[in-house]
Structure 1
Amino acid sequence: GSPVIKEHPESVIVPRNDPATLSCAAQGASRITWFHNGQEIITSSHRVQLPSGSLFFLRVSSGKRENDAGTYWCVASNQFGTTRSSNATVTVATLSFEFQTKPDSDIKIRLGDSASLPCRPPKGAPIPEVTWQRNGLEVTNSTRITVTLVGDLIIHRTVKEDSGIYVCRAHNVAGSRETPPTSVVVMVPPWFTKTPSNFTAAAGSQVELACIANGSPSPAVTWRRLDGKMPLGKATKEDKKLILKDVNAMDSGVYVCEAENEAGITSSRATLTVVNAPELTQRPQKSIVLSGERVQFSCHIEGDPAPLILWRLPSGGRNVLLSPGTTSGQMAVSEDGQDFVINSTVRQDTGTYYCLGVSKGGGVSAQADLIVAEAYPPPVVGIGPQDITVPPGGMASFTCEGVSEEATPLISWWYKPAAHLPPRQLNKGNDDPRFTLPDNGALIIRDVRADDSGIYTCKITASTGRVEQEAILRVTNEAREPVQTQLPAPPSKPRILFVNETSVHITWMPNSQKSSDAGEWYSVEYWRHGWEEWRIADAVMSKESCLISHLTPSLVYTFLVRAVNGKGASFPSPWSDPVIPSQASNPNLTTDQIRQARRRLSRPTVTLTDASIMGSDSVKLSWKFLVLGDLVEGVLAYAVAAKGRVQMTTILGSSSSSHLLKELLPNTQYTFFLVPFWQSVEGSPSNSFSLTTPEDVPLVAPENVRIKVHDDGFTLITWSIIPSEKARGDVIGYQVTLTHNGTHTTERVQSPWLEARGLIQGRLYTVRVAGLTAAGTGPFSAPVLMDAGSNDALGRQDIISGDSVLYAHPQPAWLVYLLVPLIIIFFIATLVYVQRLRHKAPPSNPPTEPSLYQDPTIYPAHHSVNMYSEQKLWHPHDSDKESNLSSTRLLHFDQKNEYAEPREHRANETTEPYATTTLLATESPHLGHGIPWRRHHSDDSGVQVNWSAILPPPPSCPPPHDLDLGNPAGAVMYTTASQCDNISGSNVYKKPCDATSEHTYDVYTQVTPTEHREGFLTFSTLQGRGCRKLHDDCQPIPYGEPPRSNTH
């Protein structure tokens, strides 16, 4: 029968070029045939069929021409038939060399973070398997470490032991591949093992701030200052310590130690406090301005405590200082004192300005010169054009450079064929392309022609002036090409050595490129205001110095120097600083001596050790010198008041150690400091002391003492307050003394007025007023005579202190008895006449001005008006009227005061006046007053009649001792209503009134008299103060306006 397959071929995976065998064994087969992908296999050199029927591959190929991969089967046949085996697949195994994804060579992970190391194996068949190795050992999966299906290595919650060298390995039948080693570092954030602490250091000492930190990798420790102002010149870092040498107040601050690595950063702070003298961070610079221009000097001085910055002017001597926030004419100092401004300068402002900075730690100073010029120097020709001769067709080049240190010079070229012909300007846009004007100011002419001959002028123009220089161009066939000449190099900027009223000695340095040619010399040019061009001071000088004489004093001069040889003059040197010929402050000292003295005195020379108060106007200063006595001739003691006043005292001798400053202002804050000097050279100021002088009694008495005796029986005494600059303390009150027949009565008040009632008619009193401070009573004013007068309008008087005393004799008594009935009759007749006019007047024109008749609907029915507050009034007892002792008529402190309830006066109401005695009289030119008026009950006609002008005053009752009626000063006016007639229903205070009481009370009261333009006299109510009697511990109060006679 047909063959039987005993051994079927099996699929194999074979690496490329490796041998392989596909087995096939059959029973009863006469022939075995192999098929590859359906095609019968023809044996070849690398593929043969074994006698057993198996197919042997010498090397498996997978190329494009020969590819052994595929599906194979064998067929066994005999005469009876054929039998086919099962299929077998030959796969050629491959593995690429490059990984699809591989991790970085260096991976850093923060401690505790998760890390992912990516790895995608190379392409291959079969798919390669991925494994990881750390430090040569295979990594196995755990709760923290996982190798994903695609080959990535995931590490969760990293620990320090996870650091190492990782390799990703991919392998299959074709082989294995490994990634380059990856270094994994688990980083630990830094932490401090030692932190810096706050430190207070003395000036000049060395400070060490330690800061030690650990971490992985090892952290870098750095220092910085919180405000960014690390003193680099004195700060060094040694072994993780910050070392500050020679510290001063400017080194105070917060210093930050920072430890940083790749895992993070941490910091620690420490505050360093250094007590030191102020430090000058910005010096004022020398300024040169034109008259009328604004100039500003900046002098920035820093320190802790903040220094007091003062400015000293060149005019006015050493005792003229400007403090912060002060203004003097066109000069002003900023609020912090660091900037000094002159808004509009004049020539007299020329001089040296000093800024001084003083504090408890020490003092510094700086100076700057100011020159106010009328004009700036004009430009000069740096390198000018020279005469040249060129052949036709050649090239001519003229050089022209302008120099101006105050303005930008502009260069223009002009040409004229002959001297007598007008010039024309050569512009860049010239029609002739042969002419070129480059930006450096030169003139270049190409393809020169004969008609180009002529005079070429270079004109240099600036806002400060102009200058020009000519050169001649000659065109001839015999001309030779111009030879380039080497001009000498310019010297350095001239320096002023010596100055007097008519001479200036200058010096300079030669240029480092100066040639060894012995034929080189110097030329000095100078300029002053009024000249249109620079002039040559001395044509030939072989040495590097020059004395220029015959100068005009008080004018500003500027100098420059050129080096000259046989080929020409060099470019000019920089201009010298402007200088003004004037008398030297110390002609016996040379410039070098002054410079050395300034350097010597710039260091701390004297220290102020104490400032003791010896009196209200004197302070004792004590000091000690820090240098040898022969280096200092004395000190200037300054006392700077808070109000800007400056007092300076010169103390000669280096052996002095204390001085008593006198004539200071009492009750004034002063800052004291010293300035050492040697000859005319001053050093840096010392440390300062600040204190406030004690108070003193007022320097002057109150002025303008005025006395008004009014018709309602009281006398008003007023005076002017003492100016603060002459008070010498806080004025807490005034003392008023009244004298009669050798008997003195004294009263103290806080406000600058006093009202007295009940003076005996015809008595002559002497009034004197003095100011009070905590130190005591000041001088009294000049005596002023006062006559109590009579209780009628004609008995009024106005007495003013001065050289002459105005005194009015009382009018006879019979005149009063005659006038009173006449005034009453006239008053009634006036009321009747006014009433008739009112009935005739149209109802649409009601009166708008205050009068005796008003609409009853807009005024209260009745209010008894008492115009007096809690202050003291003066009323006599019956017994006093019979006594000749004026002192018995003064109120004792324990007596009751008359009381009046205040009622606020609205803006739309009319003040209700009150007078103790109502008199009707014609208007007196001398007195300037009419009669008082008042609204009262209305009759049936609806017209309000002022019955209070006829009836006697209402009764008064005593107020309580502790009643405070408020502040007398203010915009709100008050009227008062008697508590005995409490129609308004006020329940503020219930007076113990007794209708049968006949008591009278002698009190003082302050009232406000004001003048009424219509001729009516009244007194508005004045609120009293709660302080009834002035004690030594009373504090000053703000004064209100004194009482004035007022009607509305």
Structure 2
Amino acid sequence: MEWGSCSSPLSGLAPVIREQPSNVVARRNDPATLNCAASGEARITWYRDGREVVTSTQDTRSHRVLLPSGSLFFLRVANNKRDSDAGTYWCAASNDYGVTRSKNATLTIAFLLYEFESSPESPVKGRIGDSMALTCQPPKGSPPPSLTWLRNGQLVTNSSRITVTSKGELTITRAVLEDNAMYTCRAQNLAGTREAPSVNLIVMTPPWFEERPENVTTASGVLVELICRAQGSPTPTVTWRRLDGTMPHRRAILEDHRLVLGQVTAADSGVYACEIQNEAGDASAEVMLTVVDAPKLIQKPQHTQVMAGESAELSCLVEGDPSPLILWRLPTQDRTALLIPSQKSGHVAISDDGQTLHLASTTTHDSGIYYCWGISRGGGVSAQAEVMVVEAYPPPIIGVGPKDLYITPGSVANFPCEVVSEYAAPTVTWWYRPAAHFPEVQLEQSPDNDRISLAINGALLIKHINASDAGIYTCKVTADTGYVEQEAILRVTKQSSRMPAIYPPAPPTKPQIMFVNETSVYLKWLPNSQINSGSEHWYRVEYWRQGWDEWRVADTVMNEESCIVKNLMSGNIYTFLVRAVNNGGVSFPSPWSDPVTIRSPRDPSLTIDQVRHARRRLSRPAVTLSNASAMAPNNVLLAWKFLTAGHETVEGVLVYTVSEEGIVKVATVLGSTSSSHHLHNLHPYTNYMFFLVPFWRSVEGTPSNSYSIITPEDIPLEAPNNIAATFREDGSTLITWSGLSVKKARGNIISYQITLTHNGTEATEAVGTPWLEAHGLIPGRLYTVQVAARNSAGLGPFSSPILIDFDSINNYGHQPHGSESDEDPAVIYVPNQPDWFIYMIVPLVVLLFVVTILYIRRLHRKSLTANQPVIPTHYQDTSTYPASNTINMYSEQKLWHLEECDKEYNHVSTCLLHSDQQINEYAEPRAQANDAAKPYATTALLVHTSPHMTRRPTWQNHQDNPGIPINWSAFLPPPPAHPPHHETAAGDPLRHTLSQWQCDRRTESSGFSNNTLSEQYKRPCDNTSEHTYDMYTHVTQNSNRDKFTTFNALQSRGMQTSNCISQRGMLDESLTNTSHSGT
């Protein structure tokens, strides 16, 4: 049911408030509505604070409007001193039956003040890792405002570390650097938003060194920078202090946390401290500055001109602490042509102290510029001098010559003749002739004629002139360097003509060579101080070249004190002088210039000013070598710093490496920003000195300071050699070897490692001396010895295995340690053999052995059929041998002893096993001594290595098979353990021996050809025995391993050079072929 459409059924009752007004909050000047509705046809009236509200119905100017529904509408809420809408409102509904009042409702006008009750002051600082809190109390307002926080304009939300409390407090735990920001407290209600001043939150970190200062060792007189870079929040302050002295304030500048000391001296050496500090903490770092005085050039080498064939010396005295090393650089394009003290190169020698360079028997090729470098840890100095080797000196020149004179009779004539000769003493003579077609007469001073006087300066004075004195007077100058003359005419007149005296100008100074190229020389000089600046004069240049007989005048006449003489010939030496000229004549010549060689410059593209500027800049220290560190035994890393700002005059550096032997290497490093270089291919454990030379184009500067270093050790390059063993009487064995040279040791040898091996068992011993006294070695065993050297870098390679046979040492004698003997211990070099070679050679040896036995049996049957006498075969018993170091081929590689068999070729020689021992033989018919038959041919089995032979046997220098030698004793069968009973021939043993064996030595080869042998020998043979004993040889003992001969090598050589021939039998052609095929 709608109230306006039908009448109330409750007529006669007071109205009912159907909609109660509620509290309203409104901003000033904003519209607002207080709701109120009643039943029926009630009239609505509004009251504020007990007073009726005037609406627009009552007053059209009012901003309060009563709506038809009964609500009170405010067009704009007023809030000023005259009128305010704020208050307590209620509405009253009335009709004819009564009035009904609503509940009270409050109209509140919202507001928010601008000033916060409290806010944090900027900045707020805290240490990293600490907790921080920002408090904020909002300004007064209605309704009460809410608080929020902004971080750099962005709303802050709660996280694990950041929290905004209900009271509006911002709390940060475990602060980090990312928390640094501008924080703003914001208050907000219906009346608006207010922001407190932003606060800068700073999270501070204690200071720390981004780059610590390093110890500096530098030369005096240079600029030193001590760098100290620090970081922290806030940025720390850097303070430099000197801990052991006074800071040189006048020369100390603080730039970008760097302490810059200019022109440092030795007094600046000390300890400096860099202190950094901020609100979070402080720190300090100390640095040691060591200033070493740069070398001082006490005496510079002087330019020298010398005749070819003569000697010359250049002296260069450099002093300093530490003592500098003086180097001389020769005038070649090779930058490694450096000489150190006591070094020679051709006919150039340096003295032991390095201060003198001596040139012997100079030639024109020695001409050039010699550099003297003095280098130490404190810096480097440089001086240069040019050596001019000439084949001739400039001739003399007449400085003031005679002039034509007009003299009246009775006067005095004065003809001057002053001579300049800088290389030889001149002789001045005067000559006279009446006219040009008359012969000359020499004028001499004599007591009889006092009219003529010859002055010391060469002038001629003639007194009491008469008409007969008229004529031509000539001044002739002779010297070892040349000849010159000048003449003048004397005329005798009755009337003298007096002219105003005009004197020639004074001579200028010595001309200086400013620049030289391939065709021109630029000269410069100064005028004489006696010449007035306003006087009129000019200059004349004279020059001389080798090969000329006289001085010549340049075409150009100069008004200024400089000149460029052109059209010169390259490769020649020139000397210049300058004369001043005016109307009165020519001055005395200036001092002669230094000789100069016309040559092409290194860089023709450079101008004079560019070269002069580069030389001036590079004459000062431009680079300093800061460090040299060894990265490996053969390479070093160099580091340097440029001293000049911008490095515009430095194009690169030359890195010099000088070894202790004086070997020089140079590396070019381009770039003015380069700061390091790696040097490779150095020798381990070698002392090297390094220094730098800056350069720009072809101009080189002053050497830097030097840095010396010894490269690290490396393992030894080779193994010890000359290994020998000596059996001593006390049962011990002394094993010795030779040490290594310094170059091969590559370090200090601290020990030697010796390895003894027997039957797979290995024992190792380390000793500090080049010998080992071994105990407990069991006789009868074979031991292999290897030795290696050790230094601090490690163990070097082992030597090749050396075999020690104790049985041969014990059975055949030894020499006590220290006794005199010509024989060395029995030591044999036995190289290792691969197993596969053994497996391959065994079947071949067995097959060869069987074929040999069958063939010998066949020959034996042929000899029996022919009824030829057979020479018995003898077995050599080793028990009959004397005490000597030998080896039996059938018993553990002991050598057989063969006596010398050396007879004339046309005699029958007898080869005995040993001449003074009885020989065991088989029970076979013995041949008589007179039955010796001449053999058909003889072939040498093996050349005897007698110690009395002056030449080395050919077989020791020749080896047909350079491969691994074979140990034949491991495969050949041993001799019978109990040889048959033998009989000893009565009488002379030699006669009995001749009846057993005969060896004919012939110069021709039969049955076997060996072109490398100059002599052929016949070996003992056995035509009946099944065993053929190969060869017998005596090995001369020597401790030198290189001269050792292995048993395997003897076996292989024996198989190649031996050919067995029966004394009475004759071998057919098939034997020869078989011997070759067997070989």
- Aligning the two structures, in what range does the TM-score lie when normalised by the shorter sequence? 0.3 to 0.5
TM-score of the superposed pair, with normalisation by structure 2? 0.46
TM-score of the superposed pair, with normalisation by structure 1? 0.47
